[in-house]
Amino acid sequence: MAKTKEYRNEQDELHREDGPAKTYYYKDGSVEMERYYIDGDLHREDGPAEVSYYRDGTVEKEIYWIKGKMYRTDGPAFIVHNEDGSVKSESYYANDKLHRKDGPAVIRYNEAGSVHIESYFIDGKMSREDGPAKITYYEDGSVEKETYYANNQRHREDGPAVVDYLPDGSVENETYCANGELHRTDGPAEIWYSQTGESTKERWFDRDKEFIPSEEQVHAYRNKSNADSHVDGGMGR
């Protein structure tokens, strides 16, 4: 049994209009992968241009290509399946770049089928304007970690760029970043909390450089934190 089968045009380019132009086979003769080409470019308009199979024939991967670029307008362009057929991950692409405007561009699922990680991308860069660009979930669906990105860098102007949560929903630690650097002007850039919400450890950073704050800086931060806690009914940070 041949390991591959190809169709080519007169210019010797991989090409076929009514099926896959190149097929790969396992040693037992079953199909391992199918690729659709038009004039040498991976291309298919009515389905995935690249399909990989497990040995039992179930689909492992589906990749959508248009004129040699990973692209799909009505769903994820890269889908990975588990052996039981369930979806393992979905990735949205436009013109060969991770991209999605109305939701996460990358979604990874756990073995139970619930969402494990969501990542937001615009034009190939991890970024989101109205919330965290990367969210990790516990198996029960509660949030484990939130990370804010702008143009591929950890960044947030109105709060911590990274927040880790304990399974009960309480905050474990917070990290403040600006343009990818540990940075905060009015308090510690890294804070760890006890399960009762009290700060147990703090580190101050200015443009990624750790420093020891002055008594005046610490006093101003404590006063602000106490004021915020009073306004929020004791629930604020």
The answer to whether the CB of 36 falls within 8 A of the CB of 13 is: no
Question: Which two tokens mark 88?
Answer: 């393992």
Is the pLDDT confidence value at 233 over 60?
no
What percent of the chain is predicted at pLDDT more than 90? 91
Q: Would you tell me how many other CB atoms lie within 10 Å of the CB of residue 89?
A: 17
Looking at the domain assignment, is residue 223 inside a domain? yes
Please compute the mean of the pLDDT values over residues 197-224 and round it to a whole number: 93
Euclidean distance between CA atoms 171 and 99, whole angstroms: 30
Q: Report the Cα 34 to chain-centroid distance in Å.
A: 27
Determine the residue type at 206: D
DSSP 3-state helix, strand, coil percentages of the chain (rounded to 5)? 5, 40, 50
Looking at the domain assignment, is residue 88 inside a domain? no
pLDDT tens digits for range 109-123: 999 999 999 999 999
Looking at the domain assignment, is residue 165 inside a domain? yes
Q: Each residue of 19-48: b (16+ CB within 10 Å) or e?
A: ebbbbbeeeeeebbbbbbbbeebbbbeeeb
Looking at the domain assignment, is residue 87 inside a domain? no
Going by their DSSP bridges, the two strands 125-126 and 106-109 should be labelled as unpaired
- What pLDDT was estimated at residue 235? 46
Looking at the domain assignment, is residue 96 inside a domain? no
**CA proximity to 163, closest of 178, 148, 151:** 148
Q: Average pLDDT over the chain, rounded to whole? A: 94
Residue in this structure with the two tokens 């309480």, named with its chain if needed? 170
Please compute the mean of the pLDDT values over residues 91-95 and round it to a whole number: 97
pLDDT tens digits for range 144-166: 999 999 999 999 999 999 999 99
Looking at the domain assignment, is residue 167 inside a domain? yes
Looking at the domain assignment, is residue 236 inside a domain? yes
**CA proximity to 73, closest of 50, 40, 102:** 102
Euclidean distance between CA atoms 211 and 231, whole angstroms: 30
Helix segments in the chain, DSSP class H = 215-231
Is the pLDDT confidence value at 71 over 90?
yes
pTM for the full predicted model: 0.91
Please compute the mean of the pLDDT values over residues 38-55 and round it to a whole number: 97
- What pLDDT was estimated at residue 224? 80
Structural domain including 227 reads 155-237
Is the pLDDT confidence value at 222 over 50?
yes
Please compute the mean of the pLDDT values over residues 204-231 and round it to a whole number: 85
Euclidean distance between CA atoms 176 and 190, whole angstroms: 6
Three-state SS at 205: strand
- Domains contained in the chain, number: 1
Residue in this structure with the two tokens 């002007």, named with its chain if needed? 185
